[in-house]
Structure 1
C-alpha cells in the first residue's frame, strides 16, 4: 500500500504519469492502471484527464492530504524500527561537487548526525565530472552535483535550484549603477573555474545561447573559496553560485552585479547509477528535501 500511495503522491505533485513512471522505473500504463484501481477502490475520481494534461479533482486534493499523513507515519515507523537500527551502515560515503560540498552539505550532515549520532560520514569532494566518474567506476554509490544531467548511465533527481551570479569586490567603483549589459560582460577581467567544473559548464552554455563564446579570462582557479578570496583583494569579476557568496554579501565584502536581461539558473542533483536503489539513499534524499531551507 505504501508504494501505491507514494506513486499517487508523485502523480499528484508532478501532474504527470510519464514523470512518475520514470521516477519509479515502471511503465506509464502501469501507473495509469494503479491510479484507476485506487479510484475504483475509493469510488471516486482523483484526476481530471484531458488530452495532454491531468489535474487534481476536489476529492484528489482531499485524498492527497490523507496520503501525506499516512506516508509521514510510515516514515516515523521506519526511522524508529528500521532505518536507525538495522538498515543504515555505520559509515556512509558519497560524493559532492565542490560548491555543494562547501556550502550545502555541511548543514545537511549536521542535521542528520543529530538524529543518528552513531553514523559517520566520508564525503569525497571534487568537480561534478569527477564525481560522476567515481560513481560510474562504482567507487561511490551516489553524489550531489551541479551541472547538466546528460549521462545515460546515471540517474538524476533534482535537489534544489541555484543561481549563478556575477560578483566583484564591494569597493569596485566600476558600474556604480549595479548592473551591466551583455556587451560590457565580454570586456570584464574575469576569474574562472577549471574545466570539468559544473559551474563553468552551465555558465558557458548560457553565454553561448546569447552569442558569447569566450570571456576575458585572466586567471583559472580550482575552487570557489580561492576565487572569493582573490576577489577580496582585486577589482576583477567572477561568476559564483549565490549560495557560496551569502556570507560575503552579508559581511559587505563582495557585491552582485546584475546583467540586464540575463540570468543563469541551474539545479543541484542527486546522482547515482541507473537502476541503483537504496533504502538509505531514499531516506537521505527525503531528509534533505524536508530540512534544507535555501
Structure 2
C-alpha cells in the first residue's frame, strides 16, 4: 500500500503520469495501473484525464490529504525502527530562502534532532538569489530555495510545490465577492517583496503572461513576516506563500482574494553546484523529502 500511495502522491504533485514515472523510475503503464487500482479499491475517480493533461478531482484532493498523513506515519516508523542506528555529522550547514526558513524547515529540523540530538544545524536564511550566490562562491555547499532552476552552474532537484495567493486584511471588505480581475489587480495598493526575492520573481513571471509589468507598489519589505504585520494594520494587498498564512487564515486575520484566471504555483528546489556530490547532502535531502507533509 505504501508504494501505491507514494505513486499516487507523485502523480498528484506533478499532475503527470509521465513525469511521475521518470521521478520514480517506474514504467508509465505501471504508474497508470497503480492509480487505477487505487481508484477501483476506493470506488472513486482521483484524476480528470484530459487530452494533454490531468487534474485532481475533489475526491483526489481529499485522498491526497489522507495519503500525506499516512506516508508521514510510515516515515516516522522507518526513522524510529529502520534508521535508528544511522549516524550524522556533528554539524550540518546549508542555506534556505526566507519562506522556507520561517515556515517549513523548523518543523523538519526539529523532527530530525529528536532522532539525532547530537547533530547541530547552522542555517543561512537569505532570499533565493543570495543563497545561489553563496553556493556559487563555495561559502555554502547546498541549499533549498524557491522559484527557479535556470542557472546552469547549479543543479536543482524538486522538493515541494507551493502556491502564491493574493491576501489582505480579513476585515477589508473592498471586494466582498472575494474575487477581482487582472485589471483591478493593477490598481490596488500593493506590498511587495524586495528585488532578488523568489516570491517576487515568480509573481512577475506569471503576470508577464498578461502583459502586466508592474503593480501599484506602495511599500517594499524584505520579509514575509513584515508584510503580514503590515497587512494586519492596513487594507493593502500582497502575494504570499500559502504556507506562510495558514494560521492567519484559521484565526481570521487575513483572507485570500482570488484573481480571475490567475494561479501562481512554484516549486521549492534543492540546489548545489553543478557536479557537486555529497553523501551528507543526499541523506539530508532524502530525510527532508520523507519527513515533510507536502
Category of TM-score, reference length = shorter chain: 0.7 to 0.9
- The 8 Å contact of residues 15 and 55 in structure 1, kept in 2 or not, is answered as no
TM-score, normalized by length of structure 2?
0.74
Q: Give the drift of 1:57.
A: 8.8
Rounded to whole Å, the distance in 2 between the matches of 1:59 and 1:239 is 39
Deviations 1:83-126 (A, max 9, x none): 41xxx220111000011100011011011001100000010000
Aligned to 1:163: 163
CA change 1:19–1:58 in 2 (3 A) is closer
TM-score, normalized by length of structure 1?
0.74
- 1:56 equivalent in alignment to 2:30: yes
Aligned to 1:200: 200
Aligned to 1:184: 184
Aligned to 1:259: 259
Alignment of 1:100-249 (within 5 A): 100-249=100-249
Q: Give the drift of 1:55.
A: 2.9
Q: Give the drift of 1:290.
A: 1.5
- Structure 1 or 2, whichever has the larger Rg, is 1
Deviations 1:19-54 (A, max 9, x none): 57xx9xxxxxxxxxxx9xxxxxxxxxx85xxxxxx5
- The 8 Å contact of residues 153 and 274 in structure 2, kept in 1 or not, is answered as yes
Rounded to whole Å, the distance in 1 between the matches of 2:159 and 2:253 is 29
Rounded to whole Å, the distance in 1 between the matches of 2:256 and 2:144 is 26
Let me know the Cα RMSD of the aligned residues.
2.9
- The 8 Å contact of residues 147 and 268 in structure 1, kept in 2 or not, is answered as yes
Aligned to 1:42: none
Rounded to whole Å, the distance in 1 between the matches of 2:84 and 2:170 is 49
CA change 1:140–1:176 in 2 (3 A) is same
Rounded to whole Å, the distance in 2 between the matches of 1:58 and 1:173 is 46
Q: Give the drift of 1:56.
A: 2.7
Deviations 1:227-265 (A, max 9, x none): 000000000000000001111111110000001111100
Structure 1's consecutive aligned runs of 4 or more residues displaced over 4 angstroms after TM superposition are 13-20, 57-61, 74-78
> Where in structure 1 are there 5+ consecutive unaligned residues?
1-9, 24-34, 36-45, 48-53, 62-71
Equivalent residue pairs, number: 240
CA change 1:211–1:144 in 2 (3 A) is same
